[in-house]
């Protein structure tokens, strides 16, 4: 009998062909989402009882789901962030978990720099107004000479620093576990979180979403930022309190925000942020590159096969 693998990552069969082959060669039957969005609890409850392993996107995996998952041996996260995994619940139910750190760093870093340039240069609005027949010229500051502050200095942040070097910016960074060797290599000055908040012209967020970082960017931290600061978020939406962000964007305290993530996904289009021209957003697509899909597809397929065989997957979390 074949092992049934639920894949909640859209387009896995098209973009992860080598991963599909690994799974099929190891006696797996694939059930691949066609939703184009995360599964809801009600949807998972109906299908999870017959599933042996999961390759997961950003669906929520906790005790409520595991109560119905009598055959489930493990979940391989298609990406690095596991704030949608309740690891304690996984331990309780004897379900293994892994992620794929490092693979998506280049794609996400490219997207962070893209958002940075787009929000500073006001590209989306200029594109729109030009298409409407307006000649809405816009003046801005150049990147050269600006201070870019990185909140977090892991793999993605270091890749951002590498890409920004030719622009002639000064880069400062905070990390709970600072990598001094990499900072020296990249010409980055490591400093306190307060320094990043207070001294940066552009702040780019690269920390995980934890109890400590949830709501990190709020009315208080924003008040300590430079007037006219730019804020970029390719990490996790709940790190930024969107109501406080809206007030800061509306007043001009924050000159512009470029984000790939949201407090609630899919987004609530009624939120007033969507009425602002200086709010530029993309639908959690920073890691969406063919290269990342191919490599992560292989990594998650190998992790699932290991779990099914009773072996420890690479980057095991539980």
Nearest to 207 by CA among 253, 170, 160, 143: 160
Enclosing H/E stretch for 162: helix 155-164
- d(C-alpha 111, C-alpha 271), whole Å: 24
**Quick one: DSSP state of residue 307?**
H
What are the angstrom distances between the C-alpha of 276 and each of 124, 126, 252?
12, 14, 11
- d(C-alpha 272, C-alpha 279), whole Å: 10
Catalytic residues: 236, 265, 284
Give the contacts of 117 (CB within 8 A, at least 6 positions apart): 123, 143
| Exposure string for 241-264, b = 16+ CB within 10 A, e = fewer | bbebbbebbeeebbbbbbbbbbbe
- d(C-alpha 223, C-alpha 34), whole Å: 43
């Amino acid at each position: 009998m074949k092992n049934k693998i639920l894949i909640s990552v859209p387009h896995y069969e098209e973009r992860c062909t080598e991963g599909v082959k690994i799974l099929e060669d190891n006696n797996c039957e694939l059930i691949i989402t066609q939703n184009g969005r995360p599964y809801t609890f009600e949807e998972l409850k109906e299908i999870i009882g017959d599933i042996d392993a999961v390759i997961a996107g950003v669906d929520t995996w906790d005790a409520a789901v595991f109560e119905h998952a009598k055959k489930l041996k493990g979940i391989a996260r298609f990406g690095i962030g596991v704030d949608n995994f309740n690891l304690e619940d996984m331990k309780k139910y004897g379900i293994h978990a892994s992620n794929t750190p490092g693979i998506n760093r280049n794609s996400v870093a490219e997207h962070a720099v893209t958002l940075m340039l787009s929000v500073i240069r006001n590209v989306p609005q200029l594109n729109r107004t030009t298409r409407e027949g307006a000649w809405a010229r816009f003046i801005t500051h150049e990147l050269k000479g600006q201070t870019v502050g990185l909140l977090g200095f892991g793999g993605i942040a270091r890749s951002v620093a590498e890409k920004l070097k030719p622009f002639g910016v000064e880069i400062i960074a905070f990390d709970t576990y600072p990598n001094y060797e990499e900072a020296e290599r990249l010409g980055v000055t490591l400093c306190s979180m307060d320094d990043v908040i207070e001294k940066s012209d552009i702040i780019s967020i690269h920390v995980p979403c934890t109890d400590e970082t949830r709501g990190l960017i709020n009315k208080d931290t924003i008040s300590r930022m430079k007037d006219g600061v730019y804020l970029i978020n390719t990490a996790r939406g709940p790190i930024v309190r969107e109501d406080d962000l809206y007030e800061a964007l509306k007043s001009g305290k924050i000159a512009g925000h470029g984000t790939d993530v949201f407090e609630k996904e899919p987004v609530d289009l009624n939120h007033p942020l969507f009425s602002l021209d200086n709010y530029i957003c993309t639908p959690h697509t920073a890691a969406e590159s063919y290269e990342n899909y191919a490599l992560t597809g292989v990594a998650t397929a190998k992790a699932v096969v290991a779990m099914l065989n009773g072996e420890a997957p690479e980057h095991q979390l539980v």
